[in-house]
Amino acid sequence: MLAASFFWLMNVLNKDNYSLKLNYPLSIEYDNSAYVPMQPLPKRISVNVTGDGWTLLQKSWLNFNANPVVYRVQNPNVSSFINSTTLTDQITEMFPNLHVNYVVADTFELNFEPKIRKIIPIRVDSLGIDVREGYVISSIINVSPSLISVDGPVSLIKSYPDTIRVSVPTPKIQNNFDESLPIPLPVSPLVEVSHRDVYVSFEVAQYLNTVPQ
């Protein structure tokens, strides 16, 4: 029985025209210093191939540790989809002993925007600082950093303010102030922000009434 099974398996693997769907990782390469993908890029592709049993068995084993198929986007500004013909040609070169029937990606849509940088000054809302009665701010208000940068797609970065004002939430301050405060900016996975917090410090002194009685 074992010998018969072995010879049957050898006979089957030697035959042609078997079809198999292989699942491969996909790597989309583009100029990430100049462009931002506005939606998640596809990470895997399914490839339907036809060939002899031995080759298909080998490819299915190698599938577990396969190198990704690399698709290069030459002009992200105008590319709105993955060219399936180009992708098929690349995979055909990877599998010279197989016939590639068709390729299916997670999605063929691409959506890139140019990446820009904006420098935004940080200011403290000095009129909103709550100092205890009888006390005054007796020094300049220090802000560090005084400038931050935001990098991201042009449509989002243009919506960011030209100046960011940070509020001091502490009530009735009567001592010198030195704290880290959050910068009020929206969080987006598409936008890189150089700093999320800012250090604010200033001195506070008691106001003395020197008017003669």
Q: What is the pLDDT of residue 144?
A: 96
**DSSP H/E element including 4:** helix 2-13
Last residue of a domain, which of 79, 110, 141?
110
Whether 99 and 6 map to the same domain: the answer is yes
Whether 80 and 150 map to the same domain: the answer is no
Q: Is residue 17 part of a domain?
A: yes
Q: Is residue 212 part of a domain?
A: no
Whether 129 and 195 map to the same domain: the answer is yes
> In sequence order, what DSSP letters do the residues of 72-92 get, joined into one string?
E-S-TTT--B--HHHHHHHHH
Q: What is the pLDDT of residue 3?
A: 47
Range list of β-strands (E), the chain: 18-29, 35-37, 44-51, 69-72, 99-105, 112-124, 135-137, 142-144, 147-153, 164-166, 177-182, 192-193, 197-202, 204-206
By residue range, what is the domain housing residue 125? Answer: 114-206
CATH number at residue 193: 2.170.120.40
Residues whose CB falls within 8 Å of the CB of residue 54, separated by 6 or more in sequence, listed in order? 13, 14
Last residue of a domain, which of 89, 110, 131?
110
Rounded to an integer, what distance in angstroms lies between the CA atom of residue 149 and that of residue 166? 16
Last residue of a domain, which of 84, 110, 136?
110
Whether 23 and 54 map to the same domain: the answer is yes
Closest by CA position to 51, among listed 23, 22, 20, 24: 20
Whether 168 and 77 map to the same domain: the answer is no
Residues whose CB falls within 8 Å of the CB of residue 131, separated by 6 or more in sequence, listed in order? 137, 172, 173, 174, 204
- Residue ranges of the chain whose pLDDT lies below 70: 1-18, 51-66, 105-107, 209-213
**Greatest CA separation for the chain:** 119
Rounded to an integer, what distance in angstroms lies between the CA atom of residue 98 and that of residue 112? 34
Whether 8 and 106 map to the same domain: the answer is yes
Q: What is the pLDDT of residue 91?
A: 80
Instruction: Count CA atoms closer than 13 A to 139's CA, side-chain side.
Output: 13
Q: What is the DSSP letter of 184?
A: -
Q: What is the pLDDT of residue 11?
A: 47
